[in-house]
Amino acid sequence: MSFLLVEWSEDDFKTYSVVSIDQLEDGILRANPGKLVGTVVAIKWKRNSIHRGLVLQIGKHKNLSLEADKLAVKAADEASIIKEKDKSKFDNSSGIKMQKSKNRANEITEIASQIPSSQSVDMSLNAEFADPPLDNETVSKEKYDRLKGRHDRLKEKYRELKKLVENSHEVELYEGSGVTLPAAELASIKIMSNKPTTLARNLFRRLFSPEELASHSLNGKICNANQLAPPLPKIDTAKSDAVIKFVLKEEGFDNSPNADINEANKSFLKNKKAVKREIKKSLSDFLRECKKRKD
């Protein structure tokens, strides 16, 4: 029985196998295998799966197996060389790009530090601005892509903040709410908040005193976790509503989609409800945490 030395064309990394002619899917080719060298054929594999491979040689199993081993070693050496070249190219280019990201992050931090704030802001995003490993450390592509994505998302906020630092003015948090903040300070809080729940908490820190945060609840209702405790008074509704509406607006849930598209409306309202529920839960937890710290 004759055998085929096959290079699998479906693999990114070159692999080789020796297969029996009986494994050819096409019965006509099985009957006349002499002209198969250099052609791509369909081969039956385990569990009746079909894979395509390039026929390199026809011959005896032993001889073809030795040839397959030689080709596999050669392919491994070639892949190793290519990998080293790609790694060197990536390290050089990523080092330059990471240095630019580092400089921009430092400039953002310097501008933000010039903005006065009467309340502390949650700096949980400090890790976002941590100096990336440069020098002799190898920067992984995954980490570089992650940091680059964060840098790109901050570009617009950075430009906005840079314009407002020297000419700050009061802006209404949400139209019609009557709740205002200095524009530069609001921009700074937005930059330091990496998700909607963090943004909502940081705005609460700015709009309410520590005493107000520790002595109020979001809804003025009995806490499910401690139903024996008397309910705390409801925190200022105008301010809390303004915060929630502002965060929803920042997340793209201010205006509804086209009213004619029912499915889009349903999906929009469902997502908006979920985000709003998450924000309110986070704020309720935050007020309870403030009370515990005071107690």
Higher pLDDT, 143 or 83: 143
Percent of the chain scoring above 90 in pLDDT: 23
**Within-domain flag for 67:** yes
**Residue after which a domain boundary falls, among 78, 112, 128:** 78
Residue 257, domain CATH: 1.10.10.2590
Ranking 4-8, 35-39, 74-78, 179-183 by mean pLDDT, the lowest is 74-78
pLDDT in tens, 98-130: 666 666 666 666 655 555 544 444 444 443 444
pLDDT in tens, 228-274: 778 899 999 999 999 999 999 999 888 766 555 577 778 888 889 99
The pLDDT of 64-77, averaged and rounded, is 80
**Residue after which a domain boundary falls, among 50, 78, 106:** 78
**Within-domain flag for 109:** no
For 16, the domain range is 3-78
pLDDT of residue 20: 86
Answer whether 172's CB lies under 8 Å from 252's CB: no
**Within-domain flag for 191:** yes
**Within-domain flag for 220:** yes
**Residue after which a domain boundary falls, among 47, 78, 109:** 78
**Within-domain flag for 27:** yes
pLDDT of residue 260: 57
Average pLDDT score, the chain:
77
**Within-domain flag for 129:** no
**Number of domain units in the chain:** 2
